Amino acid sequence: MDRLERKGFALRLARTLAERTGDRGYVVGLYGRWGEGKSTVLNFVRHGLASYPAEQVTGVEFNPWFDSDETHLYAEFLHAVAAAAGADLERKYEKAIRRASRAQRFAESVGLTNSVNNIVKVSTLLGAVGGLGQPTLRDFHDRLREVLAPASAAARRVVVLMDDIDRLDDAQISAVFRMVKLAADFPNLCFLLAFDQDVVAEALGARYRAGGAGGGWEFLEKIINAPLQLPRADPSVVAQVLREMLDQVLATHRVLLNEPGERIRLDNALEAAVWPCVTSLRQGKRLLSKADFALPIMAGEVNPADQVLMEALQLLFPDLYSFAATHKPPIPEVAEDLGIHPGTLHSWVSRARRNGSPSSDRLVAEPSPGVRLRESERAELERLRAEAREKDKRIRELEMERDVCKRFVVCG
């Protein structure tokens, strides 16, 4: 299903990768932020490549998450590309030697001395017949170059698809791009790398002498031959998809079905202040997932429309959410400012305070009339009053910020 209308772009990209001429490798970077749909585009590209004869082009998805060791990572990559090209980088006698070595280690671990001696003899004989020992990583590197060479009988274009590179830690990101740099000049090999360019540039910059994102961008520019920005999804389409998902959530919990006025209030608030602030379809799905979980828990205690809006407030404007939960003025006044029911806000405030909100100690109790305080208690009371005054001052500043934010959200 192509609700965000990226399939045409992805199929054109697949055709370009499959039909590109030239013996040298090529590296394409697909740039986009988290949750914007890079994985969906890569899936469309994979299906597009699959429409070509396997003898002409093969797509292979390589996942760098499984191996944190850089040497093992490159070895796994070489073997994966060779397999996609229909070749095996390991000779038969080398496999036999490797298996014999594994059997030898097992026999030694369980104390089978005679078996160890026999296995050593077999390994020595195999090595003598082959004329070589176990191949090195450089051997596999050179063999893959031969496999991909245009003159090779098995020659075909291989497109390597890699996703979620920006989710790796800095050392892993650096290892992946060194691997790509090593293999980028192989003939008939293309890379399609999907990642958040700012995250990766920051990670690479931290690992190299220039430092910072600037150094990372310089490194990327040396590796990425064709940087492509993920096409921006139509905001109206994203909003429509989220509306349909919201309908499913509300229908599942059977809320607002017979309350058209409340549903209109919810839709108006979402259209004015929530959907325009959702930066990706994934973020919208996260919001609706939170609402889907919270609605049955708070059923009968919180108005469902307000529940959805408070989940949006917590996800999109966490500072305003915290401010609403710890605000000192009376609940009805704050509720009126935020445009929600006082009962709903009261439930949220109570829950925040029960959970140990960092500002739940704002109210300072006054001593009862006629109660005499010790000097230490009076000093502590004065300290708390001074702290309360500072917090009240900060509240007034936050109120001003809140008003500015509300106007920006509604007008922007």
Lowest mean pLDDT among 110-119, 143-152, 245-254, 269-278: 110-119
Structure tokens at 351: 């829950």
pLDDT band at 103; cut points 50, 70, 90:
low
Confidence at 29, pLDDT banded by 50, 70, 90: very high
Least confident of 162-171, 222-231, 327-336, 340-349: 327-336
Show the tokens assigned to 324: 């609403």
How would residue 366 be classed by pLDDT, with cut points 50, 70 and 90? very low
Please tell me the predicted confidence (pLDDT) of residue 390.
80
Q: What is the mean pLDDT of residues 333-358?
A: 61
pLDDT of residue 59: 93
Mean pLDDT to the nearest integer, 17-29: 85
Task: Give the pLDDT score at 387.
Answer: 77
- Token duo for residue 296: 């049955």
C-alpha dihedral sign at 394, 395, 400, 401: positive
- pLDDT value, residue 300: 83
Check pLDDT > 70 for residue 351. no
- List, for residues 232-247, the tens digit of each pLDDT value: 888 888 889 999 999 9
Read off the pLDDT of each residue in 221-239 and give the average, rounded to a whole number.
Answer: 90
150-154, 211-215, 278-282: the lowest-pLDDT one: 150-154
136-145, 336-345, 363-372: segment of lowest average pLDDT: 363-372
Give me the pLDDT at residue 367, please: 45
pLDDT in tens, 56-91: 899 999 988 776 678 888 889 998 998 888 888 876
* Higher pLDDT among residues 42 and 326, named by residue: 42
CA distance 269 to 275: 9
CA distance 187 to 222: 18
With a pLDDT cut of 70, the percent of the chain lying above it is: 68
Mean pLDDT (whole number) for 242-265: 89
pLDDT of residue 370: 46
> What does the pLDDT read at residue 180?
94
pLDDT (0 to 100) of residue 412: 47
pLDDT at 399: 66
pLDDT value at 43 more than 90: yes
- The answer to whether residue 374 scores a pLDDT higher than 70 is no
| pLDDT higher at 406 or 316 | 316
Are 161 and 61 within 8 A, CB to CB? Answer: yes
Query: Is the predicted pLDDT of residue 214 greater than 50, yes or no?
Result: yes
Global pTM reads: 0.66
- Please give the pLDDT value at position 39: 92
Q: In sequence order, what DSSP letters do the residues of 140-198 get, joined into one string?
A: HHHHHHHHHSTTSTT--EEEEEE--GGGS-HHHHHHHHHHHHHHTTSTTEEEEEEE-HH
User: What is the average pLDDT value for the chain, to the nearest integer?
Assistant: 78
Helix orientation angle between 113-130 and 92-110, rounded to the nearest 10 degrees: 160
Alpha helix segments (H runs only) across 197-341: 197-207, 212-223, 235-253, 260-269, 281-297, 304-316, 318-326, 331-338
- pLDDT at res. 371: 45
Return the minimum-mean-pLDDT range out of 98-102, 297-301, 376-380: 98-102
Residue 357 pLDDT more than 80?
A: no
Q: pLDDT value at position 405?
A: 56
Does 404 have pLDDT greater than 70? Answer: no
C-alpha 251/C-alpha 311 separation (Å) is 18
**Residue 162 in this model has a pLDDT that exceeds 90:** yes
Rounded Cα distance, 258 and 256, in Å? 6
Per the document, the length of the chain is 412
